[in-house]
Amino acid sequence: MANALTADQQRRRHALDHPSKPISSRTLSLMSAHAAQLKRDAAGWLWISPWVIGFLAFLFGPMLVSLYYSFTDYPLLEPPIWIGLENYRRMLTDETFRSVLWRTTQFAIIFIPLATIFALAIAGLLNGKVKAGGFFQAAVFIPTLVPMAGSAMIWLWMLNGEYGLINMSINRLLGWAGISGPNWLSDSKWAMPSIVMISLWSIGQMVIVYLAALKEVPDEMLEAAALDGMGPIRRFLSVVLPLISPVILFNVVTLMIGALQIFAIPYILSAATPGGDPRAMYFYTMYMYDNGFRYGQMGYASAQAWVQLLITLGLTAILFIASKRLVHYRA
C-alpha cells in the first residue's frame, strides 16, 4: 500500500522519481504523518465496517424502500402502483387510525410519568443502606430479561378474572367486604390499566440507570444542603433532581419511543383473551402490522410507519427543547 510506506521507502521512491530534487526532512515528516493518519483511518473504518454494512443493509436500505412504498398501493403479491399522497390522505379519514393513535397516546401519557416515578422511588430505596441490596437490584432487573411472550403468558394467568393470582388475593383480602377483582383483560375499562401495570413490571433497566446516577451525587452537596436546613424532600427536589436530570431526560426519551411502539404484550394478550373487546388493546403498531401483513396493504402500513417516525422525532425534539430549561449538565 503506497500510503503506508515507511520513511525510508518514501525517500527511495522520491529519489528514483525525482533524482534532481532531494526530499526535505520537513516534507518527509509531513508525508509520514499523512500516511500514519490514513492508516489509522483505514483501521477505524475496518473496525466499524460490520456496523456500517448492517446499518446500510438492514436499516437505511429498508427505510428508503419503505418510503417509496408509502407512496404506492402495494398488496405484496403484485407490483406496487404509484398513488402519490393517497395513503397519507387516507389516514385523515380513517376512524380506526385515529382510534389507535389516541389509545397509544393515552398509554404514553399514563405510562411514562408512572414509570419515571416508580423507577426513581425504587432506585432511591435501593440507594440507601439496604441489607441484601444486590439481591433486590437483581430482583428488579430480572423481569427485563424475560422475553415479551413469556411475560405476556405469566400476566395472562395472573390477570385471569376467575383463576388469576391477583383476583384470588383480592377476594381473600377484601371478599368479606363484598369487593372482588375485575375481569382485567376482558373488561374494556380495565384493559388499559392492565397494559400499563404489565409494562411497569419491566422498569428494572431504568431503576439500575437511576441508581447509578444517584450514586454519582456528591455527598458533600447533600451534607451542605442539610446544614442549610433542607429536609429530605427539599434536598431531593433542589439538589438530587437537578443533578440527575440528564439521566431523567434520557429515560423519558427512551420510554416515549417504547410507548409509541408498544406491540408484543397487547398483541398476545388480546389474541389470548376470548370474549374481550378487541379494540380495548388495539394500538398503533398493531394496526400498522395488520395492514401490512394481514390485510395486504403494505403501502398504507409504510405510510403509517413514516408518520409514526415523524411523530417520534417531533416529540423527541420538543423534549430536547424543553430540556434546555429543565435539565442541568454538570461542567
Please give the Cα distance from 216 to 227 (Å, whole number): 20
pLDDT digits (tens, 9 = 90+) for 79-108: 999 999 999 999 999 999 999 999 999 999
H helices present in the chain, as ranges: 7-17, 25-55, 61-69, 86-93, 95-127, 133-141, 148-158, 165-174, 188-200, 204-215, 219-227, 232-235, 241-243, 245-260, 264-271, 284-289, 298-326
* Dist CA 322 CA 39 (whole Å): 43
Among 160-164, 168-172, 250-254, 261-265, the range scoring the smallest mean pLDDT is: 160-164
The burial of 250, by beta-carbon neighbours within 10 Å (0-12 exposed, 13-18 middle, 19 or more buried), is given as middle
Model pLDDT, residue 174: 86
Where is average pLDDT lowest: 118-127, 273-282, 286-295? 273-282
State percent of the chain over pLDDT 90: 52
pTM over 0.85: no
All three cell numbers of 182, joined, read 375485575
pLDDT single digits (tens) 255-267: 999 999 999 999 9
Are the C-beta atoms of residues 81 and 213 closer than 8 Å to each other?
A: no
Q: What is the residue-averaged pLDDT of the chain?
A: 88
pLDDT band at residue 2 under the 50/70/90 scheme: very low
Cα–Cα distance list, 244 to 241, 250, 287, 304, 330 (Å):
5, 10, 37, 35, 10
pLDDT for res 179: 84
Read off the C-alpha cell for 243. 443533578
